[in-house]
Every structure is written in C-alpha cells, then in structure tokens.
Amino acid sequence: MTDEHRRIVTTVVAVGLAAFGSWEATGQEWPPWMQVEPSCPTEEDVVTITIGGIWDHTCTPAYPWIELDGSRVDFYAHLDPDCFGFWWPTPWELSAPVGPVSAGTYDVYACCCYLWLACDVYPMTFIGAFTVYRTGDLDYDGDVDLDDFNTFAGCLAGPDNAYPPECDGADLNRDGDIDLADFATFQRGFTGSGC
C-alpha cells in the first residue's frame, strides 16, 4: 500500500468512526468537567489538568497526553481498540501534566481518538481555560509589586518554620518554608505595579 492509499484509508476510517469516537458522541456527559492543580498555579508549579465525565461505554478513554502550543493546551486521549466492553454509562477521569509554564491564560481543548489513527483527524473541543500567575503575584492581579511584597513580608517565617495556610502562595520555591530563598525569588520576579 502506498503512502497515499494509506492516507486515504486512514481518513475514510477516521471519518466513519468520528461520530462514535469523538468526545461529542451522544450519551456522554458533555462537556467533561476540568480541574487544574494547583488551583492558582504560578510559573514555579507543575500544572496538572484532570478532565472527566460519564462515557457511554465501559471502554472509557485512556492514555492521556498533552501538547502545548503557545497559549493553547491540547489534551488527547485514546480509546483502546482492543477493549470490548458493554454499553453502560461509565465514569472516567484522566490527568496529565502540562509542566511548568510561563504566566498567562491558557485555553484547553480535548480530543479522543483510536490507537491506530492519527489524532489530528478528530475535532478538538474547547473544555475551559486556566491562568498561570507570575511567581510572587500573591494577590493574583497580574503584577508583582509592593502590595505583593507586603503580603510576602507578613508571611516571612524563616528557614524550616511552619506557616499558616493563607501564606501558601508565599512559599515561592515550594520547599515548605518562607525564608530568604523565597525572598530572592520574589525579587527576581518583581515587576512593579500594573505590569
């Protein structure tokens, strides 16, 4: 089979299966819910996306992976072609790391495809968006300024000392304390008001 024949066969099969295999097939909970961890991520965090819902079959989506292109996050999953299950509504949930990413707002699209088909033949569907904040932006207004510093200074507790839950965001290097190492990170991220 030539590459051209293979491409045509793949396309025809994909179109035939699209209604069955796409996220928009009937009988599923749609759109899927989406959760982002941590809930207010900064550039220091590994952002993880979890999506889930109710599938119309016991063969639920699996094998998730993510592709990042600028401010767009594509969340892919495969339906296992070897799975022979029943047509029972089945809860499903998949997580995949986006990784540390720069500050900004990201749109998340999702798609599901079969193992033997190129996923780009299926339509992507918008699931939701999330924002990654600048490191040190403790009031989540887009800048790292004196307001953020005042919050940081009020949380500074020193090496290996516990801090209250409301100071979570000030542990900028995520090592369990709020000390001068965090202050050094804060200084590097300082933008001034309105940036």
List residues binding Ca ion (CB under 5 A): 137, 139, 141, 143, 145, 147-148, 171, 173, 175, 177, 182
Q: Which is nearer to Ca ion, 10 or 173 (CB)?
A: 173
Question: What would the two tokens of residue 52 be?
Answer: 């889930």
Distances (CA, A) of 32 to 11, 111, 128: 26, 11, 10
CB 165 to Ca ion: min, Å: 15
CB 103 to Ca ion: min, Å: 11
Q: Which is nearer to Ca ion, 36 or 155 (CB)?
A: 155
Q: How far apart are CA 134 and CA 169, in angstroms?
A: 11
CB 188 to Ca ion: min, Å: 14
Q: Which is nearer to Ca ion, 44 or 56 (CB)?
A: 44
Q: Which is nearer to Ca ion, 45 or 182 (CB)?
A: 182
Q: Which is nearer to Ca ion, 28 or 42 (CB)?
A: 42
CB 151 to Ca ion: min, Å: 9
Q: How far apart are CA 108 and CA 130, in angstroms?
A: 8
CB 98 to Ca ion: min, Å: 22
DSSP conformational letter for 152? H
DSSP conformational letter for 118? -
Q: How far apart are CA 103 and CA 83, in angstroms?
A: 40
CB 158 to Ca ion: min, Å: 10
In 3-state terms, what secondary structure has residue 33?
strand
CB 80 within 8 A of CB 59: yes
Residue type present at position 82: D
Q: Which is nearer to Ca ion, 56 or 139 (CB)?
A: 139
Q: How far apart are CA 164 and CA 155, in angstroms?
A: 8
CB 15 within 8 A of CB 113: no
